[in-house]
Structure 1
Amino acid sequence: MSFSPDTLSAVDRSILEALQELIIVVAQLRDPEKGCPWDLAQTPQTLVPYVIEEAYEVAAAIRSEQQDAIVEELGDLLLQVVLQSQVASDAGAFNLEAVARGITQKLIRRHPHVFGDLVVDNAEQVHANWEQIKVTEKGETPELAQRLSRKLEKYAHSLPPLLAGFKISQKAAAAGFEWQTADGVWDKFREELAEFETALQEETTVEQQAELGDLLFTLVNIARWYGLNPSEALHGTNQRFVHRLEAMEAFTNRPLSDHTLDELEQLWQEAKAELARVRAGKT
């Protein structure tokens, strides 16, 4: 599908200029003679943690509803797309044009109700068509595409582990892999906890890791049984822990590392009480 000059002229030229500036800056950073040593040292693999980190920071900014933060974090994420493309281009693999054209063509293919003659009545039909087009693109047979393992594989490979575990747990339960009562999942938790404790005493690190994974997955299932989101729960705990450390540091003029364990415990309790007072609306 091609776009007419009228369509292209409707695009804000300042947006195209801004994108071009970013592309030029990143290319300069990767210049073999005048570029930045850090940027020149990067590979697609070394940049993966930054892609993940920036995606999470975008999500956090959106939740904060702070527009300046959203703009900044989206910019950081866009940088990762441009930088990955530049690194690949330097290696003779692909470039940003291939990335942009690829996603544009995919969007057109998967929206025949917008760019073609297909008629749909609701969002559910759009989703069904999208999934069918994906199957066709991948060259899979309908039977293969419907396999539960095939559906869950993408979660295991692409999502953060805790979120992947939650998604896999949900889909597996919907397919019948489920306990009959909550007591069953609690029994499984106690079984896995015992196996993990035994592994810590008697097994290798590899086996200990495996048993820890089994224990965490069972906790994910417990969360699902009670309608809780484990990712959001852990996010909340992380936030509370950081806030308590911040409150502890407000109660002392020395670094926390300079305190004894007893002093840290006292500061922790004071911080916990102070935050509880704040939540209760007291001063």
Structure 2
Amino acid sequence: MSHPEGQVPLPTTAALTALQQLIEVVAKLRSPDGGCPWDLAQTPETLIPYVIEEAYETVDAIRSGDQKAIAEELGDLLLQVVLQAQIASEQGQFSLTEVAQGISEKLIRRHPHVFGDVEVASVEEVRQNWEQIKDQEKGATTQPPLLSQKLSNYARSLPPLVAAMKISQKAAGAGFEWDSIDGVWDKFHEELAELQEALQGEDKAHQESELGDLLFTIVNLARWQGLDPAEALQGTNRRFIQRFVQVEAVCDRPLTDYSLEELEAFWQQAKAKLGHTQPTTPSEQ
């Protein structure tokens, strides 16, 4: 069904019916009377790995462009939301209704240029208004929260590489920044030398500390160059797997039966064959 230009389609009756069916299915799975033993054994904490796993699988599906896979993974992710809300409802804490109402109210509150009379001239103004309203929601009506509090939230809630980028961006925005990229390169070589020195010793904690410092500096280099380190590493992971697939394809016995020189030759052949093409997901190979 097509919609007039600029008009946002609303959920259909079928979509709302399907969502209600999902809610009822999850409630049945959690029912002490004929429910599923596995679902009944779950708690919000035991489901944390599945929330993370489904989020990453959804991202992977989106990157692949496979619409069927995207729809399926979004369903798996939605299940985790409904399941968490169902457990909370059973414990008298909140329900899916409060979850949906809460996010709707937040979106309306943080978009006064859409739902109110505020005018904005750029995406940057939208972002600034969002951050200001967010601070006000947290009770910072007169004094904005310390930057360190925000940085702690990133470190606590985001994957380390993503958190490092956010922390780096926010700190730089507050003036904690090098004058030029030359300063970042100097820091890189300094941290590399310190890691090499630490690796000569036996203190694993110190070695990890120096490794972390080097990785954080590399994140800063990425930021200066406008690169996404998480995307870069994801691409490298995929290229490595693609090349590994090619190596295994030419081997007629276990990899451990080949010498390092032979494996290196296979690897270089795979690298030359694949080149630096855009990495694909396993489903696209």
| TM-score normalised to structure 1 length | 0.81
3-state SS in 2 of match to 1:63: helix
Match of 2:218 in 1: 219
Any residues of structure 2 matched to 1:202-281 within 5 Å, and which? 202=201, 204-256=203-255, 259=258, 261-276=260-275
Match of 1:6 in 2: none
Matched, 1:183 2:185: no
- Give the distance between the partners of 1:37 and 1:259, measured in 2 at CA: 48
> Structure 2 stretches of 5 or more lacking a match?
1-9, 279-285
Any residues of structure 2 matched to 1:100-111 within 5 Å, and which? 100-111=100-111
* 2:135–2:144 CA contact under 8 A, matched in 1: no
3-state SS in 2 of match to 1:144: coil
Q: How has the CA–CA distance of structure 1 residues 41 and 208 changed in structure 2, closer, same or farther, with 3 Å as cutoff? A: farther
Any residues of structure 2 matched to 1:1-283 within 5 Å, and which? 11-32=11-32, 34-116=34-116, 118-122=117-121, 123-145=123-145, 147-202=146-201, 204-256=203-255, 259=258, 261-276=260-275
- Give the distance between the partners of 1:206 and 1:20, measured in 2 at CA: 51
Match of 1:4 in 2: none
* 2:198–2:206 CA contact under 8 A, matched in 1: yes
Counterpart of 1:225, as a letter, is W
- Give the distance between the partners of 1:115 and 1:223, measured in 2 at CA: 37
Deviations 1:177-220 (A, max 9, x none): 22234333223222222332343443543333222211110111
**Larger fraction in helix:** 1
Counterpart of 1:167, as a letter, is K
Deviates more, 1:119-128 or 1:56-65: 119-128
Aligned-pair CA distance for 1:234: 0.7
Aligned-pair CA distance for 1:25: 1.8
* 1:88–1:95 CA contact under 8 A, matched in 2: yes
Counterpart of 2:184, as a letter, is V
- Give the distance between the partners of 1:184 and 1:81, measured in 2 at CA: 45
Aligned-pair CA distance for 1:51: 1.9
Aligned-pair CA distance for 1:160: 2.0
- Give the distance between the partners of 1:231 and 1:205, measured in 2 at CA: 25
3-state SS in 1 of match to 2:267: helix
* 2:243–2:267 CA contact under 8 A, matched in 1: yes
> Structure 1 stretches of 5 or more lacking a match?
1-9
Counterpart of 1:134, as a letter, is K
Match of 1:3 in 2: none
Aligned-pair CA distance for 1:82: 1.0
Deviations 1:137-170 (A, max 9, x none): 211144333x432443333233221122122222
Q: Pick 1 or 2: higher relative contact order, CA cutoff 8 A, min separation 6.
A: 2
Q: How has the CA–CA distance of structure 1 residues 68 and 11 changed in structure 2, closer, same or farther, with 3 Å as cutoff? A: closer
- Give the distance between the partners of 1:93 and 1:114, measured in 2 at CA: 32
Deviations 1:221-248 (A, max 9, x none): 1222333321121111011001011112
- Give the distance between the partners of 1:203 and 1:181, measured in 2 at CA: 35
Deviates more, 1:256-265 or 1:33-42: 256-265
Aligned-pair CA distance for 1:11: 4.7
Q: How has the CA–CA distance of structure 1 residues 71 and 94 changed in structure 2, closer, same or farther, with 3 Å as cutoff? A: same
* 1:58–1:74 CA contact under 8 A, matched in 2: yes
The alignment-based identity, stated in percent, is 63
Deviations 1:82-135 (A, max 9, x none): 12222323343322222112112222322344444x232434444443333222
Deviations 1:52-93 (A, max 9, x none): 232233223223332212211211111111122223233433
- Give the distance between the partners of 1:201 and 1:32, measured in 2 at CA: 59
- Give the distance between the partners of 1:273 and 1:209, measured in 2 at CA: 34
